[in-house]
């Protein structure tokens, strides 16, 4: 489970100019505005990431109507700017977090299990489920995506970690060949060609971020949802099958589906389109898919007659700091999409190693605000 809420240590506390009642604390790579003198450097706290949805309980009622999301009936943590200081996340005092876990016991643990978990609440511990916190996802207005099906995912789902959540990425990537792409504001889409182990047939699967869909609805009509529309426009199934026949390699492709009725269509394109960012492959008898390195993945996408996500930079030796990446994340969609509003901030950037074994993102703070 993703660490939307975790036990962390306060690395630093700094004053905010012209602010008497608030100051800024540093957790991992995040800056969070807090009440002055409430915390000190080295304190253990529960850190809750932005875009987390907190349960509607009295302990969080102070967040108020401005942070309440009626659709989910929960409080949403957003990026804020207070006295000129960006604040990204929420801090809950360590003992208060423990009290909430005991009081509500969302996982219905026995007393013995509960006592054990509380003892394990050390730096780095994931307490997302213990606090009943879930991730906010913008609702897609279109709902005609077809009937879902039971499916065991054979490829990793797409959800890169933010640089602020793991500042060590800058050291992990240091001196490695890399490339940086523009993060598009749409919905993640995956198409998978694989061998059914029971029937031994080669199957084509159409998937959104978390759900896969039948190609035909229960009444026998063909699925006309947005994921299926794109598959048909680009003839993806036949292209992946032809590649398999020629190379005896099974391919999965992942991309961002953008356009009308999807996340406000910030790129302002007509209709819908998809930009691929991952190509995965495996032999017919291999157990798992592996990510194809760059630029081979880009070349294959173009060979298939599809579009690769906009590439911002390629380099032989990664050298950026977190602060430099956050600055680099700034920019406009207009650079890559001529119809985009000239003032529309892009969502950010994705940083990947050339072999695609490492990937993370830096989100544009202008976009979040």
Q: Outline which parts of the chain fall under CATH 2.40.50.
A: 5-135
Q: Which pLDDT does position 142 carry in this prediction? A: 44
pLDDT digits (tens, 9 = 90+) for 23-65: 999 999 899 999 999 999 999 999 999 999 999 999 999 999 9
pLDDT score, position 152: 67
Q: Is the pLDDT of residue 67 over 70?
A: yes
Q: Please report the beta strands in 172-262, taking only residues with DSSP state E, as ranges in sequence order.
A: 178-183, 187-195, 202-207, 212-213, 249-259
Nearest to 232 by CA among 223, 220, 241: 223
In terms of C-beta density within 10 A (0-12 exposed, 13-18 middle, 19 or more buried), how is residue 306 classed?
A: buried
Residue 334 per-residue DSSP state: G
Fold topology of 148-368:
D-amino Acid Aminotransferase; Chain A, domain 1 (3.30.470)
Mean pLDDT of 7-31: 94
Confidence class of residue 153 from pLDDT cuts 50, 70 and 90? Answer: low
Average pLDDT over residues 214-239: 87
168-185 pLDDT per residue, tens: 999 999 999 999 999 999
Residue 368: its pLDDT value, please? 84
Q: pLDDT tens digit string along 292-304?
A: 999 999 999 999 9
The class that CATH gives domain 5-135 is: mainly beta
Q: What pLDDT shows up at residue 141?
A: 46
> Which tokens belong to 263?
């996340």
Cα separation, 348 vs 368, whole angstroms = 10
Query: Across the strands, what pairs with 92?
Result: 46
Distance CA 190, CA 206 (A): 6
Say if CB 305 and CB 338 are below 8 A apart.
Answer: no
Residue whose token pair is 């009308």:
260
Q: Which of these, 122, 65, 81, lies nearest to 366 by C-alpha position?
A: 81
Whether the Cβ atoms of residue 187 and residue 262 lie closer than 8 Å to each other = yes
pLDDT at residue 157 tops 90: no
What is the C-alpha to C-alpha distance for residues 25 and 46, in angstroms, rounded to an integer? 13
pLDDT at 143 over 60: no
Q: Is the pLDDT of residue 151 over 70?
A: no
Residue 5: pLDDT band by 50, 70, 90 thresholds? very high
Q: What are phi and psi of 145, to 5 degrees?
A: -90, 5
Rounded-to-integer distance, Cα 355 and Cα 357, Å: 6
Token pair 């950037």 is at which residue?
A: 349
Which residues belong to CATH 3.30.470.30 in the chain? 148-368
**Residue 271 backbone zone (phi > 0: left; psi -120 to 50: alpha; other: beta):** left
Given a cut of 50, whether residue 107 has pLDDT beyond it is yes
Give the pLDDT of residue 196.
Answer: 81
Q: Give the count of beta carbons closer than 10 Å to the beta carbon of residue 221.
A: 9
pLDDT of 150 over the 70 cut: no
Name which of 298, 278, 275 is nearest 290 in CA terms.
278
Q: Token digits for 40?
A: 């000190």
Q: What does the block give as tokens for 215?
A: 């190609």
The least confident of 5-9, 30-34, 101-105, 144-148 is: 144-148
Rg of the chain, C-alpha, whole Å: 22
Distance CA 183, CA 175 (A): 23
């Amino acid at each position: 489970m993703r660490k939307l809420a975790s036990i962390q240590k306060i690395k630093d506390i700094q004053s905010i100019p012209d602010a008497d009642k608030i100051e800024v604390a540093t957790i991992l790579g995040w800056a969070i505005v807090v009440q002055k003198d409430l915390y000190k450097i080295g304190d253990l706290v529960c850190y809750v990431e932005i875009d987390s949805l907190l349960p509607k309980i009295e302990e969080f009622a102070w967040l108020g109507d401005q942070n309440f999301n009626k659709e989910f009936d929960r409080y949403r943590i957003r990026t804020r700017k207070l006295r000129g200081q960006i604040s990204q996340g929420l801090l809950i005092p360590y003992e208060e977090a423990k009290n909430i876990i005991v009081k509500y016991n969302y996982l219905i643990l026995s007393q013995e299990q509960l006592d054990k978990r509380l003892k394990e609440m050390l730096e780095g511990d994931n307490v997302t489920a213990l606090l009943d916190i879930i991730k906010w996802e913008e609702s897609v207005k279109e709902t005609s995506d077809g009937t879902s099906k039971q499916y065991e995912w054979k490829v990793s789902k797409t959800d890169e970690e933010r640089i602020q959540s793991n500042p060590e990425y800058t050291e992990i990537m240091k001196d490695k060949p890399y490339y940086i792409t523009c993060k598009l504001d749409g919905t993640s889409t995956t198409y998978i060609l694989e061998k059914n182990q029971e029937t031994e047939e080669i199957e084509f699967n159409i998937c959104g971020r978390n759900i896969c869909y039948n190609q035909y609805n229960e009444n026998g009509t063909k699925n006309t949802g947005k994921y299926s529309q794109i598959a048909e426009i680009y003839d993806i199934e036949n292209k992946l099958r032809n590649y398999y026949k020629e190379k005896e390699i099974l391919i999965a492709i992942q991309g961002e589906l953008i356009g009308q009725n999807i996340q406000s269509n910030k790129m302002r394109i007509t209709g819908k389109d998809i930009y691929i960012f991952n190509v995965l492959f495996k032999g017919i008898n291999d157990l798992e898919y592996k990510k194809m390195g760059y630029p081979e993945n880009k070349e294959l996408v173009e060979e298939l007659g599809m579009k690769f996500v906009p590439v911002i930079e390629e380099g032989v030796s990664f050298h950026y700091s977190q602060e430099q990446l956050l600055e680099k994340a700034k920019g406009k969609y207009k650079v890559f999409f001529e119809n985009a509003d000239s003032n529309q901030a892009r969502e950010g950037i994705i940083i990947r190693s050339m072999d695609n074994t490492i990937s993370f993102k830096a989100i544009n703070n202008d976009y979040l605000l």
